[in-house]
Amino acid sequence: MEFNLDQDQISIKEMAKSFSETELMPYASEWDQKEIFPIETLKKSAELGLAAIYVDEKYGGSGLNRLSAALIFEELSRGCVSTAAFLSIHNMVAWMIDSHGSESLRKKFVPKLSSMDLISSYCLTESSSGSDAAALKTTAKKKGNNFYIINGSKSFISGGPSSDLYAVMCRTDETSSNGISCILIEKGTKGLSFGKREKKLGWNSQHTSTVNFDNCEVPIDNLVGNEGEGFKLAMKGLDGGRVNIAACSIGGATLALENALSYTSERKQFGRSLNQFQVNQFKLADMATNLDAAKLMVYKAANSLDIKDMNSTKNCAMAKRFATDVCFQICNEALQLHGGYGYLKDFPLERLIRDLRVHQILEGTNEIMRLIISRSLIDQGKKY
């Protein structure tokens, strides 16, 4: 088994690291505290191909694989977890349209998504369904042969009123998951509206709100794939999204560990540097060990998507569950090592804790990840 990155992957990682350290890291605290959505910075990332990482080059994408994407999001999150995570969501929508949309949809939307002339949001969650995504109630009823009429509401939508295009999972038939379809709704559509901007614990550089649909008339041509394929498409998108969010957790935890190593080498107590106390050495050792273990799981999950491994869904769930849990713990330990200083906004630890906390909830809660993993194990029977 090969654990080393090839030269292309090293170059991609270095490119993302350079962008992160020059365009994200210096501004992350200000974006967080002032709740600034850094659209111009996101467009700069698009110039490097980061807005359509695994989209066909024919439509302006980078044509990279999922492992390369994980490396990119890991580095971007060292600079700003919140902004990197939003970029992951935008990439998910671009991929959905590129991989399952009609040729006309791809031509219409993917080039503009690749350049971020259009910013996109993924709309699955509803207030009444939560983790039971198949129970969603937003409806799309046909009006003649040319339009859908969409009614309903989506909750906790990253991008909210700041986005331009919404990939909406809605019910075109009955109540089962087979009746769910994916339809694109453009900003400015009559009947499209937004709730108040949510005040959140973290992820403050991306605006979040409910998205409401009141008799929105949308062309039938905006259907992505076929009717009834939306739930399967959503779940495939979430596999990749889980790897990306896990990678974002790794990036945040990496920055936390770097800060902890620096601080404990400089700060002195009782005549010695903090890193000379065995109790702190053990903490640093555990943090580094857990971080490396999380990386291995995330890289394995990303690779399983690339090779279309039959266990890829389970691998993605495992990686997301483990990485988001242990990386949050790493940030918490790093703050503890900083003492009172870690609680101040002058240091990045408190922001990292706030930004990483939601990763244990979104893209499927970590409790849901355990369900996915256990069901996969039970389906396999006695073999593992």
Q: How far apart are CA 103 and CA 56, in angstroms?
A: 12
* Cα three-residue angle 240-246-250, rounded to 5 degrees: 140
- Phi-psi domain of 344 (left: phi exceeds 0; alpha: psi -120 through 50; beta: other): beta
Angle at CA 161, nearest 5°, toward 37 and 62?
60
CB neighbour list of residue 234: distance below 8 Å, 6 or more residues apart = 124, 133, 169, 180, 182
Cβ atoms < 10 Å from Cβ of 168: 30
pLDDT for residue 3? 81
Q: Are 72 and 45 in contact (CB under 8 A)?
A: no
Query: Any idea which architecture 121-228 has in CATH?
Result: Beta Barrel (2.40)
- Pick the catalytic residue from 126, 217, 363, 367: 363
Is residue 14 part of the annotated active site? The answer reads no
CATH architecture of the domain formed by 231-380: Up-down Bundle (1.20)
In angstroms, rounded to a whole number, what is the distance separating the alpha carbons of residues 123 and 120?
Answer: 10
3-state secondary structure of 51: coil
- What angle, rounded to 10 degrees, do the helices at 278-306 and 230-266 form? 150
End-to-end CA distance of the chain: 19
Please say whether the beta carbons of 154 and 139 come within 8 A. no
- Name the residue ranges covered by the structural domains of the chain: 7-118, 121-228, 231-380
Q: Model-level pTM?
A: 0.96
Question: 301, 243 in Cβ contact below 8 A?
Answer: yes
Could you give the C-alpha distances from 135 to 126, 174, 215, 239, in angstroms and in order?
9, 11, 20, 19
- Tell me the one-letter amino acid at 282: F
- In CATH, what is the architecture of 7-118? Orthogonal Bundle (1.10)
pLDDT at 382: 65
CA 334/CA 340 separation, integer angstroms:
12
Instruction: With both helix axes pointing from N to C terminus, report the angle between 81-100 and 66-79 in degrees, rounded to the nearest 10.
Output: 150
Q: Of 109, 105, 123, nearest to 220 (Cα)? A: 105
Q: What is the mean pLDDT of each run of 10 residues along the chain (384 residues)?
A: 87 98 98 97 98 95 97 98 98 97 97 98 92 91 96 96 97 87 97 97 97 98 96 94 98 98 96 97 98 98 96 97 98 98 97 98 96 93 68
Largest CA distance in the chain: 80
Q: What count of other Cβ atoms lies within 10 Å of the Cβ of residue 167?
A: 28
Q: Is the dihedral of CA 158, 162, 165, 166 positive or negative?
A: positive
Phi, psi of 227, rounded to the nearest 5 degrees: -60, 140
